[in-house]
Every structure is written in structure tokens, then in C-alpha cells.
């Protein structure tokens, strides 16, 4: 299908969506590729710009395309999967997919734990914890914003680390002798707010996955409480379930 039928039951925007879907599935348009503009599509397929825009917007909402401000619309890369079976960190997850992880440290400090953080870390509110806010990227594409709070004796030494060059989990395990044992993780659906949209380079209101993770070094001894916001259309969390016998 490569033509728009003017008569018939299917609306034009829908037909254009199907044409574009096909271009992705037969790899005419590759992941990361810039697609033609609204104007080009409307001229090529003889329809108004508004109709072309509707087709593009729907495919953005479905996660097949993503927009970058001032640059245009691109074909999405495959979603990144985090298996909810093994306790892994971001760097490991991205490398396992054959992509290049990178990090931008947005802030780093010793800050007083708020009620919730204190509750998860089992400490008193107000106690100083190492707090790290990072933008996480895969092949230079922003994927998530993470705020980690860490509490262990000597955690303030992390302030001297280069956390753009090093994985936090690797440092904890190799340099600080903090061997991670297990974690609890919650997932919640949400929408990207204006503040996050700018950093993640997605439109305000795009789908988001909020996660909260508490990682333990021993049963009942939490070391990290982290809240992350993942771009919903770029990330999949996977788990396998067994029925109790
Ligand atoms: C993951 C964890 C985060 C942890 C980070 C360590 C989730 C939801 N969060 O992103 O809690 O701090 O990995 O990654 O999975 P790193 O070792 O690459 O610094």
C-alpha cells in the first residue's frame, strides 16, 4: 500500500499511518532516521498538513516515532528492556543491549533525607544521605532521570567520585565493598512534566514510567533508595512469572 485512496471508508490520516508503519517494518525507514516533514508528506500524498500531522502525532503517541525540538521527527529505536529478575544497574542493562551507556550528573550532595527516603532507608528523617541526580543516556539518547539516595558509613566519599565515568553499582561493589544482595522495585505509569521533558528531549505529556527501587546489601539493610523517570516509549520492564504449584 503506497497510495492514498480518496474514496472508500478509511480516513486519509489512517491510510498515511499505515503507509508509514509499513516503511518502518520493511526497513525503508531505519531506527533513528529523520522522517519527511509534515509539508513533504502532505505534498507527496496529496493531503492537508493537518492530516499529515495527525498521522505523525498518533505514531509519536504509539512510540514508533519521537520528536526532537527544532530538529524534526525520527523513527524510534527498539525499546530497551530491563529484566526484573536480576539486580542490575543501568550501565550493565545498556551494555547488555550492545549500546553505549553514558551519564550526566545533574547534582550531587549530602542532603537531609525527607520522610519518605528516611522510611525506605530505615533512618531518621533529616539524616544526611548522599544524593545523586543523573541523566542516563544510551547511544547519546536520553532515557531516564534518576535520583539516588545512599546511606552507608563513609558514603560522603562518593562526592569525590567521577560518576560520569563510573557506574555507581560497580564503584559500590569494587571500591566500597558494598555487595548488593537484592532490591525491591515499584513501577507506576505517569506523564513527563515540563521540567523533565527538556532534559529527556521529549514532548511534555509523553508517557513516563516512574520507578522506585530500594537496594539492600543484607536483608533488612537498605543502602540505596532511588526514584527514576523513564521515557515510557523507549523502555520495557520484563518479568517472567511462575505459577505456584
Ligand atoms: C538503575 C537503578 C538505580 C541504580 C542504577 C545504577 C532502576 C529503576 N534503577 O538505573 O537505582 O542507581 O541502576 O546504575 O533500575 P549504574 O551502576 O550504571 O550507576
Do 55 and 113 belong together in one domain?
no
Do 67 and 178 belong together in one domain?
no
Q: Does any domain span residue 71?
A: yes
Does residue 128 contact residue 153 with C-beta atoms inside 8 Å?
no
Q: Does any domain span residue 31?
A: yes
Q: Does any domain span residue 41?
A: yes
Looking at residues 92-115, what average pLDDT do you find?
91
Residue 212: band (very low, low, confident or very high) from pLDDT cuts 50, 70, 90: very high
Residue 166's domain comprises 80-238
Is the pLDDT score of 185 beyond 70?
yes
Q: Which of 46, 75, 104 is the last residue of a domain?
A: 75
Q: How many domains does the chain have?
A: 2
Closest residue to atom 10 of ligand 1, CA basis: 90
CATH number of the domain that residue 66 is part of: 1.10.10.10
**How would DSSP label each residue in 219-240?**
TTEEEEEEEEEEETTTEEEE--
Q: Does any domain span residue 2?
A: no
Is the pLDDT score of 237 beyond 90?
no
CA-92 nearest atom, ligand 1: 18
Do 152 and 198 belong together in one domain?
yes
Q: Which of 75, 102, 130 is the last residue of a domain?
A: 75
CATH number of the domain that residue 154 is part of: 3.40.1410.10
Q: What digits encode the pLDDT tens for the residues 49-100?
A: 999 999 999 888 777 888 888 889 998 876 666 666 678 899 988 887 778 8
Looking at residues 159-169, what average pLDDT do you find?
96
Q: Over the chain, what is the mean pLDDT?
A: 90
Q: Which residues line ligand 1 (CB under 6 A)?
A: 89-91, 146, 148, 167-170, 211, 213, 224, 226, 228
Cα of 42 vs centre of ligand 1, distance in Å, is 43
Do 52 and 84 belong together in one domain?
no
Looking at residues 224-237, what average pLDDT do you find?
89
Do 110 and 198 belong together in one domain?
yes
Q: What is the pLDDT of residue 78?
A: 67
Do 158 and 54 belong together in one domain?
no
Cα of 128 vs centre of ligand 1, distance in Å, is 21
Do 39 and 133 belong together in one domain?
no
Do 42 and 120 belong together in one domain?
no
Do 198 and 118 belong together in one domain?
yes
Do 57 and 86 belong together in one domain?
no
Cα of 17 vs centre of ligand 1, distance in Å, is 36
Mutate to test the pocket of ligand 1, among 91, 100, 168, 208 (most ligand atoms within 8 A of CB): 168
Do 206 and 220 belong together in one domain?
yes
Q: Does any domain span residue 244?
A: no
Is the pLDDT score of 4 beyond 90?
no
Do 54 and 115 belong together in one domain?
no
Cα of 89 vs centre of ligand 1, distance in Å, is 4
Amino acid at each position: 500500500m503506497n497510495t492514498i485512496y480518496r474514496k472508500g471508508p478509511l480516513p486519509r490520516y489512517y491510510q498515511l499511518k499505515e503507509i508509514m508503519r509499513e516503511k518502518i517494518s520493511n526497513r525503508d525507514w531505519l531506527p533513528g532516521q529523520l522522517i519527511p516533514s509534515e509539508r513533504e508528506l502532505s505534498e507527496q500524498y496529496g493531503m492537508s498538513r493537518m492530516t499529515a500531522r495527525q498521522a505523525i502525532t498518533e505514531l509519536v503517541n504509539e512510540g514508533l516515532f519521537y520528536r526532537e525540538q527544532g530538529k524534526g521527527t525520527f523513527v524510534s529505536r527498539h525499546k530497551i528492556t530491563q529484566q526484573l529478575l536480576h539486580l542490575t544497574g543501568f550501565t550493565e542493562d545498556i551494555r547488555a543491549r550492545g549500546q553505549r551507556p553514558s551519564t550526566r550528573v545533574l547534582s550531587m550532595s549530602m542532603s537531609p533525607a525527607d520522610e519518605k527516603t528516611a522510611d525506605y532507608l530505615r533512618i531518621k528523617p533529616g539524616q544526611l544521605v548522599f544524593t545523586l541526580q543523573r541523566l542516563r543516556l544510551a547511544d547519546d539518547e536520553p532515557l531516564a532521570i534518576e535520583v539516588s539516595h545512599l546511606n552507608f558509613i563513609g558514603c560522603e566519599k562518593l562526592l569525590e567520585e567521577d560518576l560520569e565515568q563510573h557506574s555507581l553499582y560497580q564503584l559500590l561493589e569494587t571500591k566500597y565493598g558494598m555487595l548488593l544482595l537484592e532490591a525491591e522495585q515499584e513501577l507506576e505509569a505517569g506523564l513527563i512534566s515540563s521540567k523533565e521533558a527538556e532534559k529527556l528531549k521529549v514532548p511534555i505529556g509523553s508517557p513516563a514510567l516512574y520507578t522506585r527501587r530500594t537496594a539492600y546489601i543484607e536483608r533488612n539493610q537498605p543502602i540505596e533508595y532511588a526514584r527514576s523517570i523513564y521515557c515510557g516509549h523507549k523502555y520495557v520492564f520484563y518479568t517472567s512469572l511462575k505459577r505456584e504449584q
